Amino acid sequence: MPTFQVLSQKCSPPEALNVLKGLGYTVGFIIVILGRSELFIEHTTLAVFPVLAGDQRLSTMLRLWGIIFVGNIIGYFLEYIITLLEPHLLSTGTDIFEDIALHLTEYPWYIIFGSGIFAGWLLGILGWLDIASKETISRIVIIALITFIIGIGGFHHSIVGSIEVFAGVIVPGDRVSWSDLGKFQLWSTLGNIIGGVFFVGLVKYSHTIRALK
């Protein structure tokens, strides 16, 4: 019996599933960040600095955001579709995918938006701490701590979360709709951008400018 099947049978959503999500977020982000992959939230935070300094145009930054956002979404969608096609995983039943998706979409838009702001703020801080960390072990600890909080807290991440909702849409069942995915994608993305840019990027930039004066 696959490990995922054993765990899913023992899990009672949302509490136990949140623990699994937290661990999954941690492992995934450690691999992605240490592998120097392009992260959307990281770029929403860091790419704003050349624009504020007058070295780049706003249109250039927005184009960069768009390319990385679409690339992240396509990559994760393809990965998740391949996972869903794996017969042993599907033997666990598809209800678990709908349960995970519903745990992200059952809120009104302003809750998703606010949660997205907090997730963007955490990931923006993660980007700064990752740059400041000198050793691999310290980087892993920082990544694990912050991303586990996002996963176990159920905070809305516009990339990873959209894949979880997408999985709930495409599996057999009618509890999660395309409109749920659209609502999640819109408000979580806006929240992540605001959390990363305004609550981390602009604050850090203002501190940097003040220190240079």
* Segment 74-104, tens digit of pLDDT: 876 676 666 566 545 555 556 777 888 888 8
Q: What is the mean pLDDT of residues 2-19?
A: 47
Which pair of structure tokens corresponds to residue 47? 């790419």
Per-residue pLDDT, 1: 34
Full domain range(s) for residue 176: 3-212
* Segment 113-125, tens digit of pLDDT: 999 999 888 888 8
* Segment 58-80, tens digit of pLDDT: 888 788 888 878 877 787 667 66
* Segment 24-44, tens digit of pLDDT: 778 877 877 777 666 677 666
The CATH code of the domain that includes 41 is 1.20.1080.10
Q: Nearest-CA neighbor of 161 among 86, 106, 124?
A: 106
Rounded CA Rg of the chain: 18
Residue 19: what are its φ and ψ, rounded to 5°? -65, -45
